[in-house]
Structure 1
Amino acid sequence: MNHSVSLLSLSVVIALISTSASATTGYFMHGYGVKAQGNAGTSIAQFQDALTIASNPAGLSWVGSRVDAGLTVFSPDRSAKISDNQYGANGSYEGNGRKYFVIPDIALNHEINDQVALGLAVYGNGGMNTGYDKNPYAAFGNTGSAGVDLTQVFVSPAVSWKYTDYQSIGIATNILYQRFEARGIGGFAGYSADGANLSNRGKDSSTGIGARIGWAGHFFDERLTLGANYSSKIDADRFDKYRGLFAEQGDFDVPESYGVGAAFKVTPKLTLAADVQRINYSDVDSVGNTFDVAQLQQGHAFGTARGPGFGWDDINVYKVGASYQATPQLTLRAGYSHNDQPVQDSETFLNILAPGVIQDHVSIGATYNIDPHQEISVAYTHALEDEVEGAVSPAFGGGKTALKMNQNILGFSYGYKF
């Protein structure tokens, strides 16, 4: 147990000093924990390790006392193309200033008795990163490389109560640490209420706190498991160094999300699972407000209460996964997920900085039990390339902007069961 606590302390340090993250369902992770990643993120009713805290904390009642530590490597390919622009912005722009991102996670569950389990998880909630060595906004007076870097980390203590032999309820406190930086957009200072705090101010951080609640139930001789979760919106501190960029003087919150899931044991060896999740991006003004030139001209500049955002829509995420016990030591996994498009085609110009256009993921994974206490897991996900094209406002020379992104995601984890 002392060794597990030391691992958790180390993970907190690693998470807080990590420089970047890049996620896929908008800027959330597609799956929390390597096992869930192998099932394309299905985890609301399929409880496989202590990282269930990040999706449904009620699952702690069903995974036993254990510690899980993982490492996920992201390799996103993001790009933009501007065409038919009257101000000379035409060109193809590669946003891969950084190509690889490493995100650690770790979680611990301890069964206090037959009814109560306590857990703690540290994990990356998501993020977004772009780095354009060739500035796509150079024609508008911007110099140097352009891009953004957003990282969000959760530290989540949790408790689960098994109030009957077949049902449990859990709650986790989501303690948020996030960090942000923007570069290469200072030429838009004339559209900001605080142009000195719009771009190139270095890294800034903020914190906040919220909650996640979950329920789980087993039915029909435990062949069917149902689950539900809800994560509150987190009202985070402002990014003071970017109060001239984000709406409401640098406010950047974490949107609420919720979902339901089911897992069905078709045979003793084969389990099928499905989740439906909702993420309400539009509730965060810095993300959901539209980039409306008419509003800019009416005084609603960057950084004001009604200032521009990225115009992201709320999305539904649909996930299906399969797990097969090939041998007593080996479990195989696969999954597919699809989400609505968060980026509207009318909002592509500003979203060159945050081209979160991916909609589909295909995953495979496996776990090998080394002995009754130890296991290792691996998962690979390919986020299929997607493209969104939209018109540029005549105020910025008109024409079209097309955004593209795909990702390769590889995860490894080690689990120890007490």
Structure 2
Amino acid sequence: MMRNIWTVISLGLGGLSVLSSAHATTGYFMHGYGVKVQGQAGTAIAQFNDALTIANNPSGLVWLDSRIDLGATVFKPERRATIQDNQFGANGDYDGNGREYFVLPELAINKKVNDQVALGLAIYGNGGMNTSYKQNPFAAFGNTGTAGVNLSQIFISPAVAWRYTDSQSIGVAANFLYQRFEAKGIQGFAPFSIDPQHLSDQGGDSSKGVGFRVGWSGHLNDQITLGLNYSSKINADRFDKYRGLFAQGGDFDVPESYGLGVNIQATPKLNIAADVQRINYSDVDAIGHDFSVAALQAGHLFGSELGPGFGWDDINIYKIGASYQLAPQLTVRAGYSYNDQPISKDQTFLNILAPGVIQHHVSVGATWQIDPKQELSFAYTYGVKHKLKGDQSIPAAFGGGNTNLEMDQHILGFSYGLKF
């Protein structure tokens, strides 16, 4: 048994070592961590399905058996942008799908020490963003070559959970961050940067940081469970190669997030769960600062302390999901989630590089119990197509007009679970 466990761990680490960029959908965060959770549109704060609960609410570890979970999710995003009424000749339709498919592995393990304490480890993608425009939408502004960005974030999260009463538990996980970033095709904006040589086309760069996630869960009775979680902001190292792009000399942190959830055992076979989550994107300057000519004219250039960002707002996310034991070996799932729009209508121009405009997700999934120790799960999510129309989003100094952003996404995940 232990030989099998270590084989699975080795395979998981090998897969994560070649992690490609995730293209997440609630802004740039994943809509759900773990394939079972994805099948319920991300509802997971008060329902504990597998060891990936570390990424959602680590207090859930003590309510699970010792187990290991290994999965992979395939993303197929469609990214498009349209520029209209621009006086510098930028008008046109632009396809950002230079790369079409992305694979995101995940690995987690939970070990029950006793009835009160559990230890765990999860390795997974927190989120990311990718665009690649073969036809450069910024060509009219002096940019050449393929345009786009590639961001990927990996969390390595050891965790501990403690059941301090018969019905309540707390859990803490450290979030060790490793992230990579690359930008291409925006060198024409060099006159607006404090460090023009480190604005674009510098190849891949990486940074690290450490934060934490804490969670609580409580069983009010045999039917109702409540959950709370909080993930700290991670002050990451700077992307030194892109110190002329991101505010504060290449600083790109991970924003804090928090939420609450409820799970209701409606019948012996039916669970209904609901979560509310918040992500504070605006607290990260590289993401939250607006792009405006007024700021540039005031000397707040790209890379400066008050330099431009992508103008993202904080968002709330609302999720509801259900699971039903259709047969002794088969559980089916479905869910829906909605999130606020992170991008304002006047900030669509620079967000051609990061068009995270999706607001609705619908999901289905299932788990097949192979035997008492093993299971297979799958989930499919559609990030519903959304078009965000710009409103005076291109400054007059860049020829005026508007940028419209559009995205939809297909997400397919598979996982294997082994109890030991």
Coarse TM-score class (shorter-chain normalised):
over 0.9
- 1:402 corresponds in structure 2 to 404
Give the 3-state SS of the residue equivalent to 2:389 in structure 1.
strand
Moved over 6 A (4+): none
Give yes or no for the alignment of 1:31 onto 2:62: no
Partners in 2 of 1:14 and 1:70 — Cα distance?
A: 10
Where does structure 1 lack aligned partners over 5 or more consecutive residues?
none
% same residue:
66
Q: Match of 2:410, as an amino acid?
A: N
Q: 1:181-230 CA deviation, whole Å, 9 max, x = no partner?
A: 0000000000000010000000000000000000011122x210100000
Partners in 2 of 1:19 and 1:107 — Cα distance?
A: 18
> What are the within-5 Å matches in structure 2 for residues 39-58 of structure 1?
39-58=40-59
Partners in 2 of 1:152 and 1:323 — Cα distance?
A: 30
Partners in 2 of 1:11 and 1:354 — Cα distance?
A: 29
**Is contact 1:367–1:378 with CA below 8 Å preserved after alignment?**
yes
Give the 3-state SS of the residue equivalent to 1:351 in structure 2.
helix
- 1:244 corresponds in structure 2 to 244
**Is contact 1:8–1:122 with CA below 8 Å preserved after alignment?**
no
Q: Match of 2:322, as an amino acid?
A: A
Q: 1:95-142 CA deviation, whole Å, 9 max, x = no partner?
A: 001000000001000000111000000000000000000000000000
Partners in 2 of 1:326 and 1:378 — Cα distance?
A: 15
Partners in 1 of 2:77 and 2:137 — Cα distance?
A: 19
Give the 3-state SS of the residue equivalent to 1:357 in structure 2.
coil
RMSD between superposed Cα atoms in Å: 0.9
Partners in 1 of 2:88 and 2:13 — Cα distance?
A: 47
- 1:206 corresponds in structure 2 to 207
Give the 3-state SS of the residue equivalent to 1:255 in structure 2.
coil
- 1:347 corresponds in structure 2 to 347
Partners in 2 of 1:289 and 1:264 — Cα distance?
A: 40
**Is contact 2:126–2:155 with CA below 8 Å preserved after alignment?**
yes
Q: TM-score, normalised by structure 2?
A: 0.98
Q: Match of 1:190, as an amino acid?
A: P
> What are the within-5 Å matches in structure 2 for residues 10-159 of structure 1?
10-159=11-160
| Structure 1 residue 6 displacement after superposition | 4.4
**Is contact 2:249–2:303 with CA below 8 Å preserved after alignment?**
yes
Partners in 2 of 1:338 and 1:234 — Cα distance?
A: 25
| Structure 1 residue 9 displacement after superposition | 4.2
Q: 1:6-44 CA deviation, whole Å, 9 max, x = no partner?
A: 433443343243231100000000000000000000000
Give yes or no for the alignment of 1:254 onto 2:254: yes
- 2:333 corresponds in structure 1 to 333
**Is contact 2:315–2:340 with CA below 8 Å preserved after alignment?**
yes
Partners in 1 of 2:15 and 2:366 — Cα distance?
A: 26
Q: TM-score, normalised by structure 1?
A: 0.99
Partners in 1 of 2:90 and 2:103 — Cα distance?
A: 33
Q: Match of 1:349, as an amino acid?
A: F
Partners in 2 of 1:293 and 1:153 — Cα distance?
A: 34
Give the 3-state SS of the residue equivalent to 2:191 in structure 1.
helix
Partners in 1 of 2:172 and 2:6 — Cα distance?
A: 21
Partners in 2 of 1:161 and 1:109 — Cα distance?
A: 13
Q: Match of 1:305, as an amino acid?
A: E
Q: 1:45-101 CA deviation, whole Å, 9 max, x = no partner?
A: 010000000000001011110000001000000100001100000000000010000
| Structure 1 residue 298 displacement after superposition | 1.2
**Is contact 1:16–1:153 with CA below 8 Å preserved after alignment?**
no
**Is contact 2:226–2:263 with CA below 8 Å preserved after alignment?**
yes
| Structure 1 residue 2 displacement after superposition | 4.6
Partners in 1 of 2:20 and 2:204 — Cα distance?
A: 10
**Is contact 2:76–2:411 with CA below 8 Å preserved after alignment?**
yes
| Structure 1 residue 233 displacement after superposition | 0.2
Give the 3-state SS of the residue equivalent to 1:370 in structure 2.
strand
Give the 3-state SS of the residue equivalent to 2:129 in structure 1.
strand
Partners in 2 of 1:138 and 1:362 — Cα distance?
A: 36
Partners in 2 of 1:189 and 1:5 — Cα distance?
A: 50
Partners in 1 of 2:271 and 2:15 — Cα distance?
A: 34
**Is contact 2:366–2:377 with CA below 8 Å preserved after alignment?**
yes
**Is contact 2:20–2:103 with CA below 8 Å preserved after alignment?**
no
Partners in 1 of 2:265 and 2:244 — Cα distance?
A: 53
Partners in 2 of 1:98 and 1:320 — Cα distance?
A: 31
Partners in 1 of 2:4 and 2:327 — Cα distance?
A: 30
Partners in 2 of 1:266 and 1:247 — Cα distance?
A: 49
Q: Match of 1:405, as an amino acid?
A: M
Where does structure 2 lack aligned partners over 5 or more consecutive residues?
none
Q: Match of 2:252, as an amino acid?
A: F
Partners in 1 of 2:55 and 2:137 — Cα distance?
A: 36
- 2:235 corresponds in structure 1 to 235
Give yes or no for the alignment of 1:302 onto 2:302: yes
Partners in 2 of 1:11 and 1:186 — Cα distance?
A: 38
Partners in 1 of 2:414 and 2:117 — Cα distance?
A: 29
